[in-house]
Amino acid sequence: MSFRFISTTTRHWQLTFGLIASVLSCLPATAQHASEEEQTQAALAGIYITPSKTDPEIKTFDFSHRLHVDRDIVVRQLSGKPSARHELLVFLPGTGGRAKGTEAFCQLAASQGYHVIRLMYPDDVSASISRRDKDPKAFEDFRLCLIQGGTSPHITVSRADSIENRLIKLLVHLKKIRAQEGWGEYLDEADGLNWEKLVLSGQSQGGGHAVLMAMKHKVARVIATGAPKDWSLVTNAPAAWLTHESATPRSRIFAFNHEQDFQACTPEQQWQILKTLGLDQFGPVTSVDAQKPPYNHSRSLSTNYPGGTLESKPAHGSVMADRCEEIFKPVWLYMLTEPTTFTP
């Protein structure tokens, strides 16, 4: 009797402990799933990282970079699913932009499978400071100082503070601390930029940098909004660098501008800049107000939204502004996804 009592009691506790262990074993997985979901949502909304955290030699403009990635899509990418994009979209803000106000575009890009970085760089001086310079290379030299580091008559930027170094050091940092998201794919074996997997984008000054970088290096795609605007008042013509050979096929370059944007140049001068860049070979400037995607497959897009008479500054920024997401989301999506092999 005593033996049976002990045996029954032991069996009871075995079942009890087994049930408890089963419940406890589920808790870490549940917690882990919740944690992963939180990380996925945070990564899509935007993660902030200060430039100096990635490189102590970065001394100026230590305002945060912001990165966006859809971790669910990355899982599919890393498993070799056909939906993989394997491209990094680098967004460069305009003068004084601080990488703010473009969340909608960047989150849209992430939803399409892009890794996205809104990069902070020294952006307090506009490239238009070069428009009265007699040196035909003034615009290009100014921009290359910011892109690569260097000195021009209008600006001096250290290599550490340059766009290229900031992007490289951020990717190296992300490769270490967020390895599961695949940021290292955009670096080569020597931790230089894997240019052909980059999509360069930017608003205003940033759009001009994106185009020039693409002319120097072959990249996957370019999206320039409110840009490029390099118009020389000395020659009354587009900046000389816009006539140069491009490493990136021009069919990969997309530009979107407002018809009442007078920042740094007139709308008519803007269309001449795009023609000089060679985008007219893919059709004339096409109004997104009058056409639906794919906008005749044009690489030069325009808008007059909301019509009437606008102030130039709001018109200039509207083409990439969060406040215009409902209107321009189809345009952004077209520029992000239109095949870059041109078929008229």
Minimum mean pLDDT among 14-28, 241-255, 282-296: which range? Answer: 14-28
CATH architecture designation of domain 40-337: 3-Layer(aba) Sandwich (3.40)
Q: pLDDT band for position 36 (50/70/90)?
A: low
pLDDT tens digits, residue range 233-267?
Answer: 999 999 999 999 999 999 999 999 999 999 999 99
Query: Average model confidence (pLDDT) for the chain?
Result: 88
Q: What stretch of H or E contains 268?
A: helix 267-277
Is the pLDDT at 74 greater than 80, yes or no?
Answer: no
When pLDDT is cut at 50, 70 and 90, the band that residue 13 belongs to is: very low
Nearest to 300 by CA among 312, 318, 315, 287: 287
Q: At what angle do helices 71-78 and 2-45 cross, to 10 degrees?
A: 100
* pLDDT tens-place string over residues 305-316: 999 998 888 899
Place of tokens 């990136």: 248
pLDDT for 222 beyond 60: yes
CA atoms of 143 and 210, how far apart (whole Å) = 10
CA distance linking residue 167 with residue 116, whole number of Å: 12
pLDDT at 157 over 70: yes
Amino acid 171: pLDDT: 98
Instruction: Please state which of the ranges 10-24, 122-136, 173-187, 211-225 shows the lowest mean pLDDT.
Output: 10-24
- In this predicted model, which residue has the larger pLDDT, 39 or 194? 194
Q: What integer is the mean pLDDT of 147-171?
A: 97
